[in-house]
Amino acid sequence: MVGALSFLLILFCNTRTLAEQRLPEELKGIGVEENLGATLPLEAQFTNSRGEAVKLGDYFGDRPVIVNLVYYECPKLCHLVIKGMVEGLNQMEWVAGKEFDIVTLSIDPAEGPELAAQNKAGYLETLKNPVQNDGWHFLTGDQENITAVAETLGFKYRTLENGEFAHSGALFLTSHQGVVSRVLYGVSFKGFDIKRGLLDAVDGKTLSVLDKVLVFCYRYSEKSNGYVLFAENFMRGSGFVVLTLVGLLFGFLWYGELRRRKNKLMAGQAGVN
């Protein structure tokens, strides 16, 4: 038994070593090192799609914010990530600029507001619910400020020899104060997961009754990269509902029995008279 376990352990370690050795050099160190609870550098300076100088903090203060790092001339992955986010947003009743904001930041310091404006115009047309209050912001900036944001988020990327960037696909969900609350990975995002992630970043006092139920019953699962029904809370909540319904049922039956006895008594008195 011990020998078999030792063999499996050696096999597992060798498999990991081989996988790391086979990983292309340009992809080593690429990914996301989650910094949940970290606060974004809100004083970092950028340029918006209109060519105006702005601070990252200009887009925080009222609502939770979805932050994604891309570059506008990315040949494929960045656009897949944004497209996946849009498809998820189109499944939600929440509207950008009303319940949350979006900040899309280029990691390429060579890109300027013209490219940001072109991308913004194209992606806004794909949203089912029109953005309110200019709630989706496309930014560019210099390397120092880009690095400050990327390092806070734990977003690891690398510039390749051909000028392109090796990076991963992710959405960073942050509070209205710029605190990183959740990271969603991949190029496909469910509207439920985006909304539930945003709810994680919202003060509970601002939630509707239905949203509070979502917060209560669901929690994030790293295995599924999404939100799953939290059995303990669900059982606790459903148990309360069942007890309430049983109580109402017994109350209804008790009230019905009282009325039946009262009517029988009144009928008997009427017969005597």
Contacts of 90 (CB under 8 A, 6+ apart): 126, 127, 128, 129, 191
Question: What integer pLDDT is reported at residue 108 of this predicted model?
Answer: 97
Quick one: residue 103, left, alpha or beta (phi over 0 = left, psi -120 to 50 = alpha)? Answer: beta
Give me the pLDDT at residue 201, please. 80
Look-up: residue for tokens 């990315």?
74
| Backbone φ, ψ for residue 197 (5° rounding) | -65, -40
pTM metric for this prediction = 0.69
Q: CA-to-CA distance for 94 and 53, rounded, in angstroms? A: 29
H-only helix segments in the chain: 2-22, 77-89, 113-124, 143-153, 191-200, 209-217, 231-272
Which is it for strands 65-70 and 170-174: parallel, antiparallel or unpaired? antiparallel
- Cβ atoms of 178 and 190 closer than 8 Å: no
Burial of 233 (0-12, 13-18, 19+ CB in 10 A): middle
3-state secondary structure of 218: strand
pLDDT, position 29: 78
Q: CA angle, corner 51, sides to 47 and 54, nearest 5?
A: 35
At residue 185's C-alpha, the angle toward residues 101 and 95, to 5°, is 25
Instruction: Quote the CA–CA distance of 117 and 139 in Å, as a whole number.
Output: 9
All residue ranges of the chain with pLDDT < 70 are 1-27, 203-254, 256-258, 260-273
pLDDT digits over 201-255, tens only?
885 434 444 444 444 444 444 555 554 444 444 445 445 454 555 566 656 666 7
Which among 224, 228, 219, 225 is positioned nearest to 200, based on CA atoms? 219
